[in-house]
Structure formats: C-alpha cells, structure tokens
Amino acid sequence: MLDNTHLHITTWVLGIVLFFIALALMKGANAKGAKIVHMILRLMYVLIIFTGGWLFFQFSSIDAALYGVKFLLGILVIGFMEMILVRTKKQKSVKVMWILFVIVLLATLYFGFSLPIGFDFLR
C-alpha cells in the first residue's frame, strides 16, 4: 500500500479539497465549521508528509537531487495552504500567498508526475 503512490495521491487530493472547503466556510462566516475542517486538514498534512516521506525514504536513492526538490516543494505547498487559511482568518492580504501557492503546487505536480514511481506521464 505504501510501496506505490496511490495512498499519497489520496491524501494530497483530500488535503486540497479540505483546504477549499475550509476557505469557503471561513468566507461564509461559518467560523465553527471552518475550525473543524481546518483541524481535519492539519491531520491530513501529517498523512501527506508521512506517505510522501515513506516514498522518499524508499526511492530517493534513484535521484537524490530531484527527490529532494519534490520533498521541499511538497512541504511548501502545505506551508502555503496553512498561510492562506491563517491569513484569511486574520483578514490579512493573501494575494502574494495565492500566487506562490499556485506556482509551487504546479511545480510539485510536475515533479511528482515526472519522477519514476507511479504515474510518469510528464516524463
């Protein structure tokens, strides 16, 4: 189960969906709902890092540099999701965060789908 990328994909897809649900609840002024979904999302961060880290420790010797970049980018995606949520809650500006989030997410998807394990349609 942890030897292929299916569980990792499941966790980050769920993470991104929960991120948008939490944002929508925050904007809809449903503070309690947003708080609960944000908590579940934080649990999902742990699962994303665990499944990604597991793949990393198994396969990074294939190409340590590229796997290192994938690791860093994955962590950054999580960082920007968290920054956007917390800053939206505090009603601070999130424009720059959104731009960086999109760039880092696209780069992560690119690296993930071009690295040798799992789907490689961008190689």
Enumerate binding residues for ligand HEM (CB under 6 A).
5, 8-9, 12, 15, 48-49, 52-53, 55-56, 59, 67, 70-71, 74-75, 77-78, 108-109, 112-113, 115-119
**Residue 14 or residue 30: which is nearer to ligand HEM going by CB?**
14
Q: Which residues contact 61 (CB under 8 A, 6 or more apart)?
A: none
Q: Which two tokens stand for residue 89?
A: 């809650």
**How far apart are CB 107 and ligand HEM at their closest, in Å?**
10
DSSP symbol at 86: H
Beta-sheet strands, E only, within 10-64 = none
**Residue 77 or residue 94: which is nearer to ligand HEM going by CB?**
77
Q: What amino acid occupies position 73?
A: L
